[in-house]
Amino acid sequence: MVDLHWADAIAEEVCELRGGDSHVVASGITPSGEIHIGNMREVVTADAVYRALDERGVDVRLIYVADNFDPLRTVYPFLPETYEKEVGKPLFRIPCPCGGHENYAEHFLEPFLESLELLEIDAEVLRADDLYNSGRYRGAIKVALEKRDSIARILEEISHRSLPNGWSPFNPLCPLCERIVGTEVVGFNAREESVEIRCRCGFQGIASIVGGGKLTWRVDWPARWKILGVTVEPFGKDHATRGGSYDTGKRIAEEVYQYEAPYPIVYEWIMLKGKGAMHSSKGVAISINEMLEVVPPEVLRYLIIRSKPEKHIEFDPGVPLLNLIDEYDRRVNPRAHQLSQTRRGEETSIPFRHLVTAVQVARDADALLGILKRSGYEISDLRSVLARAENARRWVERYAPPTLRFRVHERLPQATKSFDSKDRAMFDVLAEKISEWKTPQEIHDGIYSIAKEANVEPKEFFQKIYITLLSTKSGPRLGYFLSSLDNDFLVTRFKEAARE
């Protein structure tokens, strides 16, 4: 029996536990830095479950919440020192680093939303400032302020930490210094829907609970579940620790908001090979857009969808990425392949590995198409063939190890001077026969039998063929490599090698 894919298993369980009529799958992020491959796990995991529920006929929504009301915690290494004065302000009220976006949060959110489009994740994007300023949190904030003591008790009991005197579930925004850190609530007027606040900067006054601040994270989360009707939510293991924000959120949701906490999907980190978990603040990260220049979006989805959420993913953009693309193309895991597909991802039958060779042989697009045609590949879908070739070209430039990079020499390399008469005789036969062989396999087999007939180790003859072209003893898989090269060129080159 085939194992159910994790997304289907979760969809099934969610429907069993909470009914199969309608669901809301939520995910989100605090856009405080570049949103990278590591962050992508959350939204792709949510999308896989969303698709699985949708296929079961469930009326399902996928939402993505940008926590742009969160404060800037520190001046990250990628920020200029002038951001010192912005620390403690909400991200939506801080200027964007490049000057081209509405605010700091949008600067990081916008490229991410573009990549969501490429990944064909149709999430409804909600921004925390809109939710707060439009009053959607009004009721939840009122309840939180009224039930401050029970919330404080839950937090202390579950998280085993003691809260300071005067703790409030509401973090007011100081109208004077614009900070949300260093402010406190000293009074609450339920009828007026306002709080009395005091700020470290010296400000004292009244703020509305609508737009005048936000709930602290541990209360914001369960409040949001109820406001948005969230029933399923993936989150990183940092929120899933014993006494962590899911544990406290669950209790607060049940006891304060009378709402059942969403079905939790805890996911592990994506590690960057040799560098550990990705953090944009530490510079250990590859942005999603950077990766989408190298791999097709469906393969990036597949990277995440093929692994169970609780397993960590080791991401290596070098040769393992080639293997991943191969695995996707060969449909090794059919259900993961299906959940990863994009409508736009026209599939070409050309293995990426072969494109990696072809783009290094071809000087331009015409030459490339000529090579692919000669090798017998279908190139009628020009747009997607060229897009994939462009991916391959960038991959070679940025991530290919030296063994996969090569340059065909324009003249016969000097190293062929060491060939003996037996070698030259083999090249003579090769020059004669190479035009007869059509496929990479035929080329490979033909070369093999020439060596055998001459009583030479095939491996040695292979090495010498590489020398005549690359001046090195190894190179890309020989059959395909030779089929990528122009036939007349090969005949001339092998004749030269036979002659000297």
Q: Which residues bind Zn ion (CB under 5 A)?
A: 96, 98, 100-101, 107, 174, 176-177, 199, 201, 203
Please state whether 55 falls in left (phi above 0), alpha (psi between -120 and 50) or beta: alpha
Q: Is 110 or 316 the residue whose CB approaches Zn ion more closely?
A: 110
Q: Are strands 213-215 and 170-172 parallel, antiparallel or unpaired?
A: antiparallel
Minimal distance in Å, beta carbon 90 to Zn ion? Answer: 13
Minimal distance in Å, beta carbon 76 to Zn ion? Answer: 14
Q: Is 107 or 301 the residue whose CB approaches Zn ion more closely?
A: 107
DSSP state at residue 126: E
Minimal distance in Å, beta carbon 83 to Zn ion? Answer: 13
Joined tokens for residue 179: 């900070």
Residues in the chain: 500
Core vs surface per residue 391-420: b (16+ CB within 10 A) or e: bbbbbbeebbeeebebeebeebbebbeebe
Give the integer Cα–Cα distance in Å for 38 and 269.
7
Q: Is 186 or 201 the residue whose CB approaches Zn ion more closely?
A: 201
Contact predicate 182/213, CB 8 Å: no
Q: Is 421 exposed, middle or buried (0-12, 13-18, 19+ CB in 10 A)?
A: exposed
End-to-end CA distance of the chain: 63
Phi and psi, residue 485, nearest 5°: -90, 155
Minimal distance in Å, beta carbon 194 to Zn ion? Answer: 17
Minimal distance in Å, beta carbon 338 to Zn ion? Answer: 37
Give the integer Cα–Cα distance in Å for 42 and 62.
12
Q: Is 1 or 98 the residue whose CB approaches Zn ion more closely?
A: 98
Minimal distance in Å, beta carbon 16 to Zn ion? Answer: 45
Joined tokens for residue 490: 């090969």
Q: Is 100 or 164 the residue whose CB approaches Zn ion more closely?
A: 100
Minimal distance in Å, beta carbon 33 to Zn ion? Answer: 13
Q: Is 175 or 283 the residue whose CB approaches Zn ion more closely?
A: 175
Contact predicate 270/278, CB 8 Å: yes
Minimal distance in Å, beta carbon 468 to Zn ion? Answer: 52
Joined tokens for residue 100: 């081209």
Give the integer Cα–Cα distance in Å for 117 and 197.
42
Q: Is 115 or 348 the residue whose CB approaches Zn ion more closely?
A: 115
Q: Is 198 or 493 the residue whose CB approaches Zn ion more closely?
A: 198
